[in-house]
Amino acid sequence: MEHAKRHARDFTEILGAPLTPTELDDCSRVVLHSWNRLFTELERSGMVSYIFTYQVQGKVATLAVVTRAGLIRTVFPLRDVDLWWKRHLAAVEVTERAKRLGL
């Protein structure tokens, strides 16, 4: 969660307050169980990352949780998922496929 600490200002700007480690953990678990969109990304190391996003109710914000090798790597807020996606050319949206598979 070191990476999430670098987004403290983003949490404040987008969600109104920074999150404690416990809140980050709780938010991550909500996102993983209630995601709206799912992306995969092949890292330079050959590892595959999964990026789960969740639209925060009552906010113009989305939380993104990155997992790799079965572990939560980071969580960060986004104002615009599509803008994030355009900046991450290696990311592939797999939302519809995942839903068809019942994930």
The helix/strand/coil state of 7 is coil
User: Domain locations in the chain?
Assistant: 2-100
Token couple for 16: 């109104």
**Percentage of the chain modeled with pLDDT above 90:** 55
Q: Three-state secondary structure along 8-42?
A: HHHHHHHHCCCCCHHHHHHHHHHHHHHCCEEEEEE
Q: Tell me, what's the pLDDT at 79?
A: 87
The answer to whether the pTM exceeds 0.85 is yes
Tens digits of per-residue pLDDT, 45-89? 999 999 999 998 777 788 999 999 999 998 888 989 999 999 999
Q: In this structure, what are the phi and psi dihedrals at residue 44, rounded to the nearest 5 degrees?
A: -60, -30
pLDDT at 15 (0 to 100): 77
Please give the pLDDT value at position 12.
Answer: 83
